[in-house]
Chain A
Amino acid sequence: MALLLDVRNLSVLFGGVLALNKLSLEIAGGEIIGLIGPNGAGKTTAFNVVTGRIKRSSGSIFFCGRDITGWSPSRIARNGIARTFQNIKLYEDLSVIENVMIAAHSSISYSFLEAILGLGRFSRDESRIRSKAFELLELMNLKELAAERASSLPYGSQRKLEIARALALEPKLLLLDEPVAGMNPTETREFADFILRLRDSLSIGIGLIDHDMSFVMGVCDRIRVIDHGVPIAWGIPTQVRNNKDVIAAYLGTDFGVVTGDHAAN
């Protein structure tokens, strides 16, 4: 499969803090790539830079062979990168179906005049967008909730709705920021199956962040580990699991902490 995302030596500075230090990451079509690391490692920051929400300090981002560094978030989205948010960002006061339909806005072919006059292209596009949205809700088991206000959904369903909305953009690459946070083990297992099926049926690339290690190890083809913005490991799940640096980063047994503890005692 062709390379979709190619992130090269990406660095982000927040004031004086290096939130991301020379991160490189590749995602190909049909591939699921995990991005893991302790809290505050810079995972969400990496997604934010790739989707254009945060300006990078150095490095470059290529998507489908084009340099998209510095593009606006909406342009990047229209070119095929959809995402979900760690702190769910739905259009809370709108209905579930409208949430999904909104993501299809860039696909409409009618002008505002045609919308006002209700001409052919308007009705055709609207019914296409509507049935597409219902299809996606069905896929996520949300069809019965189509008329509900998005904010009235339980947490888990809100996460699913965010994914349905992201898919309505018909993306080539899907970035999921902690999709199974708050799910119980059964739901997580179902979600893992869902992600694998999604990848197989749409053959899109998926990048995901999560703290649930068994989930990440179970679905990802390759995993990139970062700690304090610094990439410390890259490889298939078994390689990453046994990597000394990774274990150290997660358990906090580096020298700094140990000597710190001794000093305190």
Chain B
Amino acid sequence: MLGPNRKFTEGLFKVTTHRDRTLTVFSVIILLAFLFYADRNFDSYTVRILENIAIFITLAVSYNLINGVMGQFSLAPNAFLAIGAYTSAIFTLSQEEKLRSFIIEPMLWPLSVISFPFAISLLLAGIATALVAVMMATPVFRVRGDYLAIVTLGFGEVIQVLANNFLSITNGSLGLKGLYPYTNLWWAWGVCIFTIFCTVRLINSSYGRAMKAVREDEIAAEAMGINALRIKTFAFAFSAFFQGVAGGLLAHLITTISPSLFTFMFTFNLLIIVVIGGLGSTTGSVIAAVLITWGNEALRVFEEPSNFFGFQYEGIPGMRMILFSVILILVMLFARTGIMGRSEFTWEGLLQWFRRKIPALKV
């Protein structure tokens, strides 16, 4: 939609017209109708993929705020995901379930007797994760670039160690089992749309501009009155809130969580998504999250025995990963700035594209 020779207008005249708003509302309604249809007609495997896609969009969009929009190389998402997952799980588990599964050490009172509805647990998961992010920000953002990556990577490891050892809160390596599968299409996509809405609105405000200024030139940002540590802390907490909520959704999708679930691989996948989408582009993060989450499943056919145009194919386990790597390498070779670069989807851009392709169309 936004070709390289198009006049550069990022952040300019971003006045949402009545037409744009109507089109947005209309497309959200179409999405909801599709979900309604999917909910009734698709098999549970396909529905599961759709739920995963929504959760990964949520994670990618909020991760992109830190790594893309603000340009701070953080590797913290798996830690935030873990905090959110554990917080929400601790609050939704019933008293009996807690009594039954905490066999090494009984659960800490009053956590052992508190239970909340799913919505409140998700909210608490987001708040708890954001609070941890605020506490982490001051020490973590003392460093930049590769050093920041290393420090946040360490943070993820620390969270795993804590989850393994705070037996009376997390049940250690046994994890939390028997969570009620609250997460359905509506929860997953509801949170996803909410996250995109909030993040895009934030980016298009003065707060978003300040984040971009920090990315472009931190010294010049400070010289223009922007308190870099403060805006970094805020963005970190904002992003952590949604990642914590996503962690809660994930926990109630797979219904069993343990410390070993939240390894660096999660962060790594998200990093691939935001880089392929185009660092700094929310649109890119959404597209890449869909492509990669769905592609990961679609490529499974190469691991199963099948018949290709008359050739008998045995299916090679792990083939999926090889193909995936090849695609990654190709993207990085031929589209270095990812699918979208730093451009964003706009209705105007889409309509212009249509006008060019189909001159007869008068839109």
Chain A positions near chain B (C-beta within 8 angstroms): 51, 53, 72-75, 77-78, 82-83, 85, 89-95, 97-98, 101-106, 108, 110, 112, 115-118, 122, 125-126, 129, 146-149, 152, 165-166, 168-169
Contact = CB atoms under 8 A, between A and B. Distances in A.
Interface residues of B, number: 34
Contact of A105 (B13, B202, B210): B210
Contacts of B348: none
Given A74-B228, A102-B210, A95 B217 contact: no
A125 B206 contact: yes
A75 B219 CA distance: 13
B225 interface: yes
A73 B229 CA distance: 12
A98 B12 contact: yes
B220 interface: yes
The residue in A75, A112, A168 that gathers the most chain B C-beta atoms within 10 A of its C-beta is: A112
B7 A77 contact: no
B8 interface: yes
10 contacts: A53-B223, A95-B11, A98-B212, A115-B201, A116-B197, A118-B201, A147-B7, A147-B9, A149-B8, A166-B224
Contacts of B8: 95, 147-149, 152
Nearest to B208: A115
B97 interface: no
A108 B207 CA distance: 9
In the A-B complex, the 10 residue pairs with the smallest Cβ-Cβ separation, listed nearest first, are A115-B205, A91-B216, A77-B225, A106-B225, A89-B220, A73-B222, A103-B224, A78-B225, A116-B201, A74-B227
Given A74-B226, A147-B9, A148-B8, A89 B201 contact: no
A89 B217 contact: yes
Nearest to B235: A112
A203 B126 CA distance: 49
A75 B206 CA distance: 18
A122 B201 CA distance: 11
Contact of A112 (B197, B207, B219): B207
B209 A102 contact: yes
Contacts of A53: 219, 222-223
B221 interface: yes
B224 A102 contact: yes
B225 A103 contact: yes
A51 B227 contact: no
A102 B12 contact: no
Interface of B: 7-13, 197-198, 201-202, 204-207, 209-210, 212-213, 216-217, 219-228, 234, 238, 342
Contacts of A73: 219, 222-223
B219 A95 contact: no
A200 B198 CA distance: 44
The residue in B204, B205, B224 that gathers the most chain A C-beta atoms within 10 A of its C-beta is: B224
B222 A94 contact: no
A89 to B, nearest CB: 4
A106 B225 CA distance: 6
B231 to A, nearest CB: 9
B206 A101 contact: yes
B207 to A, nearest CB: 5
Given A74-B228, A98-B209, A105-B224, A112 B234 contact: yes
Nearest to B11: A98
A104 B213 CA distance: 12
Given A102-B209, A104-B206, A115-B207, A94 B226 contact: no
Contacts of B222: 53, 72-74, 77
A103 B210 CA distance: 9
A103 B202 CA distance: 17
B224 A169 contact: yes
Given A74-B228, A112-B238, 4 more contacts: A74-B226, A91-B212, A94-B216, A147-B8
A160 to B, nearest CB: 16
A168 B209 CA distance: 14
A53 B228 CA distance: 13
Contacts of B201: 115-118
B212 A146 contact: no
Contacts of A72: 222, 227
B225 A74 contact: yes
A116 B202 contact: yes
A115 B202 contact: yes
Contacts of A122: 205
The residue in B7, B201, B206, B238 that gathers the most chain A C-beta atoms within 10 A of its C-beta is: B206
Contacts of B213: 91, 94, 102, 105
Nearest to B342: A93
A125 B209 CA distance: 14
Contacts of B221: 74, 91, 102
A90 B220 contact: yes
B199 to A, nearest CB: 9
A89 B219 contact: yes
The residue in B201, B204, B228 that gathers the most chain A C-beta atoms within 10 A of its C-beta is: B201
A207 to B, nearest CB: 14
A253 B120 CA distance: 79
A85 B204 CA distance: 27
B224 A82 contact: yes
Contacts of B226: 74, 102, 105-106
Nearest to B210: A105
Given A72-B227, A93-B342, A85 B12 contact: no
B138 to A, nearest CB: 14
B274 to A, nearest CB: 17
B225 A92 contact: no
B334 to A, nearest CB: 21
Given A77-B223, A118-B201, A147-B8, A90 B217 contact: yes
